Chain A
Amino acid sequence: MLWLEGMWRRPVSDKARPDGGLARIQREYAGSWVALKNGEVVDARRTPYELVAALHERDITDTTIVRIPGEQEAELIGLG
């Protein structure tokens, strides 16, 4: 068994900001909880509860749920 995972990148300045899907999502949804599927955001809400409820209402399952940090947020050590 060998799984090689790339790390989740969070840019800290324009100098380090790459182009591409992740960067776009991080810009558009900073501070939000998002549900990702097939490379796109299918829904985004302020809290995970609101997001899961919205997905349930829309009968959407099997997304990946993740929080996009806000650009002005302080760095977290672990869970903060």
Chain B
Amino acid sequence: MEGHDFLVKPLLRPVVVARLIGTRTGSHNLAGLVDSGADHVLAAPWVAQDIGVTPDPNREIRLKIGGSLRWVRFADVTVQLFPPEVGLFEGGYQPELAHEWQAQVGFFTEWDSPPWNLVFGQVGFFDQLTVTFNRDSQALAITHLADFDERFPMGPAAGPPPAPRFRP
């Protein structure tokens, strides 16, 4: 990257391999970015066509992404997440290995070349699984949802109650 000679450490991205199913199973696996900063599971427009879904115009929101406002329409689909054995490079389709669930996925109405075909955000991904990142290991661990409470049985520390902002 221009002007980045001083950067020695590589950029790492948490990527998983998944496939979506609508009225038909998607033709290809997708590299999905695991993004805790995203509120939803989002997918490129072509993916909706590939899996035979028509995202609902009555379930439409506008997001600001990449400096632009983009419309996203949601559809209910099946998400298949594949284990590391189904690697990015290997391709292939082994549905018996997939962890599968139903999710509300937002499809961009227009985006010619998004940087990722699939982004896994809070609703639809982080509410289904426990995800642990560790850059030192250059890995992320995906475990069942209850794993977090099992590892950290005490809940987060409760803060003081918020100060009243107004008197009714």
- Where the two chains meet, the residues of A that have a C-beta atom closer than 8 Å to any C-beta of B are 1-13, 15-16, 21-22, 33, 35-40, 42, 46-49, 52, 55-56, 61-67, 69, 71-80
Q: Are A74 and B138 in contact (CB under 8 A)?
A: no
15 new A-B pairs (CB below 8 Å) besides A40-B89, A64-B17, A64-B88? A5-B16, A11-B11, A12-B4, A13-B8, A16-B8, A42-B91, A46-B113, A48-B117, A49-B46, A62-B27, A64-B29, A64-B89, A64-B90, A79-B66, A79-B116
Residues of A near B93 (CB, < 8 A) are: 61-62
Tell me whether B59 is interfacial, beta carbon within 8 Å: no
Interface class of chain B by DSSP: loop
| CA distance in complex: A2, B117 (Å) | 25
Leading 10 A-B pairs by shortest Cβ distance: A37-B91, A66-B31, A7-B12, A80-B66, A8-B15, A64-B29, A10-B11, A8-B13, A3-B142, A63-B91
What B residues does A77 contact at CB under 8 A? 37
CB distance from A75 to the nearest CB of B (A): 7
